[in-house]
Amino acid sequence: MGMVIVSLTFYLLYVGQALLLPLVIAGAVAYLISILAHAIRSFSLRDLSVPAPLAMLLAFVIIGLSLSYLIQLITANIKNVVDVAPTYQQNLEALIFKGYGLFGVEEVPNIREILDRLDFGAYLQSFGATVRSLVSSTGIIIVYLIFLLLEQRTFGNKIRAIIRDPKRQEDAFELIDKMRSDIRSYVGIKVLTSTATGLISYVVLKTVGVDFASFWAVLIFLLNFIPTIGSIIATAFPSALTLVQFDTIGPFIVTVSVLTAVQFSVGSLVEPKLMGNRLNLSPIVILLSLGLWGSIWGIPGMFLCVPITVIIMIICSYFPSARPVAILLSGNGTVVSSLRKETGGE
């Protein structure tokens, strides 16, 4: 019965993508606004801090302008990249034939058929179509966003009205605080490290002379929110561009070496140091979650896979019957729950 319910749930999530995805995106944006508002309120000068309503308004404006700028930058540059994609593809073709010539291969087997299928413009247009699809849903997302922000004021009262038992109320609010704290830490650290990666990558690409350096830097910033595969793609795309843009291989070696070093340093050294054991998710679970939510909701699902998995693990850890699921999702098998007497947790 559990397997049937889970399968039916994911099927409904897939079928109801057009209805649910704008709501989920609005929820994610509302959470970003809440995180930024919390950060604004935390700054104080001589015991004077920004009032909560003003902090929320400032956060709303900052997030709105930032997302608008990112969308405009991406859509504008995708068109420019698509326009020059045929030239890049011809350069790639010449490079491949040149490579075969260096090894003394006169007849290149089936290379024309491979190049015909390797349509860079189509891939970029597909990515642009995803962005345009999200932009077309901006109206309904904003409506959802406004109502979600208004609902935050009454959420605590609703929980108290639903759960009458004081002990269960305490557990419910502790569960919500745990989710809020973990996701806030994840998003905050991810924004910090992705911004640093994007800025460093921009300097490198601009120094090398790669076309559309600002576009690739923004794309690197966004792709770093996708676990594992995002950093690989973020390094591969601009590095491959240097192969078809320049006549020599020097810019490619510099670009791929530096970008790989930056991605490795941030992803393998800085992020784990900052994250600590806050998320405690298994790497294989992150990969499976990436594939699962990517197949259900596409690119937006890839961005949301880690927060969704964290929420599922925390919720499961608070219920005795679902605690084994939380242990399987965890990285080291240690799951801490506030329901100590009921679950026998540490």
Q: Which of 22-31, 199-208, 213-222 has the largest mean confidence?
A: 199-208
pLDDT digits (tens, 9 = 90+) for 56-114: 888 888 988 888 888 777 777 777 776 776 676 666 666 666 666 666 555 554 445 54
Q: What is the mean pLDDT of the chain?
A: 77
Rounded Cα distance between 105 and 98, Å, is 10
Q: CB within 8 A of 279, min separation 6: which ones? A: 182, 186, 306, 310, 331
Query: Quick one: what percent of the chain has pLDDT higher than 70?
Result: 78
Q: Give pLDDT, residue 103.
A: 60
pLDDT at 338 over 60: no
pLDDT at 8 over 50: yes
pLDDT digits (tens, 9 = 90+) for 154-179: 877 888 888 888 888 888 888 888 77
Domain boundaries, the chain: 19-162
Sign of torsion over alpha carbons 182, 183, 188, 194: positive
pTM higher than the cut 0.75: no
DSSP letters, 83-95, are HHHHHHHHHHHHH
Q: Give pLDDT, residue 334.
A: 67
Q: Give pLDDT, residue 296.
A: 86
pLDDT at 186 over 60: yes
